[in-house]
Chains A and B, each alone.
Chain A
Amino acid sequence: MKETGLPAIAFNRIACHDCDLLQTTPRLAVGEVAYCMRCDAVLFTNQKNSVDRSLAFAITGLLFYIIANMFPFLSLKALGFVQEGTLFSTSLSLFKAGMPLLGILLFLTTILFPLTTLLGTIYILMQVKRDKFNDYTAPVFRFLRSTDTWGMLEIFMLAVIVSLVKLGDYADVVFGISLYAFILLILSLTLMSHSLNPQDVWTRLRNNMADQP
């Protein structure tokens, strides 16, 4: 294994991640999006205040994440019994029902990956803001980018709605505090990933490396 130096082209060329066409990095005005000339993939965007906004949404999201995990999102009343469902108990109940693999899957997609996304984004963006990076910045950011699709809270929310309609006929369904925190959490996560421009992070990181060889 050997390291290549940082080539000068890294600063003014961009390769499309879908078709690999190497093109000159365009300069974007605020709010513009750069598309690949050949296959129309989104190369990068220039969002207003990208770093500040995503950091704000990440911190907001983290607060809602804590609330969403503390209380039940739905409870079911039937025959004098009340059955509550929290995020964690949903994963746990699959374990108890003899489906440990499904339990792990649920734990990863609805609890762990959303948390790593929030914490990791805060960690990275704090560094970007102070313009101080360490050896872990790049690997952590790569990990975040690759686990992005595995946080499935919005899909879980859709599943909550489906179950709500399904159960509505048979029993009283009570909304928990978590359900509201959940909706706000998904909103924060969506706005966060919308306002975050990975290109900004990589550019800062590269500029930082070039300054201190």
Chain B
Amino acid sequence: MSSLPTRQTTNDEINSRIASEINSDDDLICPCCKSIMHSRKPNSLNRTWALLITAMILYIPANVLPIMAVSFWGDGQPDTILSGVMQLLKAGLWPLALLIFVASIVIPVLKLIILILLLVSINTKAQWHPKDRTKLYRFTEFVGRWSMVDVFVIAILVTLVQFGNTASVSPDLGALSFAAVVILTMFAANSFDPRLIWDNLPEPELADESEQEDDSVIEMNGDRLVEK
């Protein structure tokens, strides 16, 4: 996709051509896909903070309130996320306990922490390890959706375990809050713009080389190619 060349661009020709268009107040439309172009995701920091703070608030009811109620012979017992993990442990199903623990507790917390760190690092204009921060971002983006596994398990149990008074499972508010946390952090990761990490850095040396003959750049690119 033709994205808008930004300050990394040193090619004068492109710069002057684009600059005149940027300076107009109109939104730029991508000639190829007809969507509005942004050099950075609009309002990235504010949106990400807002979504993250909402997720953090909802994280409390997600863990305190029961996610589902299991009842045998009318004997109801509410389960929270943590008590569900404990039950699996007691039943000796430790691989399953570990899976749920990682998916429902470790990943959401890790995601919140990483995104907050990234946001703070940008707000303080940190220059610390930009490559590693970008990798952390890609990790949160990739791993976040797997937290949904617990919500899906609840849905399947609610569907299958419906034997009237004998045995039934019903979802509870904790499940709703937890699903909201997962979705909000997914949206937060989505609205965060990793390019901001690189904007705080001094002009990269690589950009100078792109001024040279195109052939040499291709060669340099070729060195970076890794076979799969």
B117 located at the interface, meaning its Cβ lies under 8 Å from any Cβ of chain A in the complex: no
Query: Of A57-65, A121-129, A155-163, A182-190, which binds chain B?
Result: A155-163
Q: Given A24-B221, A149-B145, A202-B1, decide whether A105 and B151 contact each other with a Cβ distance below 8 A.
A: yes
Q: Verify B163–A78 contact, CB threshold 8 A.
A: yes
B208 located at the interface, meaning its Cβ lies under 8 Å from any Cβ of chain A in the complex: no
A118 located at the interface, meaning its Cβ lies under 8 Å from any Cβ of chain B in the complex: no
Q: Verify A9–B14 contact, CB threshold 8 A.
A: yes
**From residue 146 to 192 of chain A, which have CB atoms closer than 8 A to chain B?**
149-150, 152, 155-156, 158-160, 162-163, 165-167, 169-170
B9 located at the interface, meaning its Cβ lies under 8 Å from any Cβ of chain A in the complex: yes
> Given the complex of chains A and B, what is the CA–CA distance between A141 and B34 in angstroms?
12
Q: Verify A79–B166 contact, CB threshold 8 A.
A: yes
Residues of B within 8 A of A35 (CB): 224-226
Interface size on B, residues (CB 8 A): 83
- Best-buried of A32, A41, A102 by chain B (most CB within 10 Å): A102
- Best-buried of A97, A101, A163 by chain B (most CB within 10 Å): A97
A112 located at the interface, meaning its Cβ lies under 8 Å from any Cβ of chain B in the complex: no
Measured CB to CB, the closest approach of chain B to A123, in angstroms, equals: 15
Closest to A92 in B: B159
Query: Of B43-51, B55-63, B118-126, B127-135, which binds chain A?
Result: B127-135
Q: Given A9-B14, A93-B158, A163-B153, decide whether A22 and B33 contact each other with a Cβ distance below 8 A.
A: no
Interface string of B157-172 (1 = CB under 8 A from A): 1111111001100110
Q: Verify A2–B221 contact, CB threshold 8 A.
A: no
B202 located at the interface, meaning its Cβ lies under 8 Å from any Cβ of chain A in the complex: no
Q: Verify B8–A22 contact, CB threshold 8 A.
A: yes
Q: Verify B145–A155 contact, CB threshold 8 A.
A: yes
Q: Verify A26–B221 contact, CB threshold 8 A.
A: yes
B90 located at the interface, meaning its Cβ lies under 8 Å from any Cβ of chain A in the complex: no
> Given the complex of chains A and B, what is the CA–CA distance between A98 and B158 in angstroms?
11
Q: Verify B198–A20 contact, CB threshold 8 A.
A: yes
Q: Verify A138–B99 contact, CB threshold 8 A.
A: no
Q: How many A-B residue pairs have CB under 8 A?
A: 237
Interface string of B1-42 (1 = CB under 8 A from A): 111011011010010011001001011111111111100000
B197 located at the interface, meaning its Cβ lies under 8 Å from any Cβ of chain A in the complex: yes
A4 located at the interface, meaning its Cβ lies under 8 Å from any Cβ of chain B in the complex: yes
Closest to A209 in B: B32
**Interchain CB contact (< 8 A) of A139 among B1, B34, B176:** B34
Residues of B within 8 A of A79 (CB): 163, 166
**Interchain CB contact (< 8 A) of B225 among A23, A34, A109:** A34
> Given the complex of chains A and B, what is the CA–CA distance between A202 and B186 in angstroms?
26
Which B residues fall within an 8 A CB radius of A? 1-3, 5-6, 8-9, 11, 14, 17-18, 21, 24, 26-37, 88, 91, 93, 96, 99-100, 130-131, 134-135, 137-138, 141, 145-146, 148-153, 155-163, 166-167, 170-171, 175-176, 179, 183, 186, 194-195, 197-198, 204, 206-207, 210, 214, 217-218, 220-222, 224-228
19 A–B contacts from the bound complex (CB under 8 Å): A9-B2, A12-B214, A20-B198, A22-B9, A31-B228, A35-B226, A38-B198, A40-B134, A91-B155, A94-B171, A102-B171, A109-B148, A110-B152, A138-B33, A139-B34, A149-B141, A159-B155, A166-B88, A167-B157
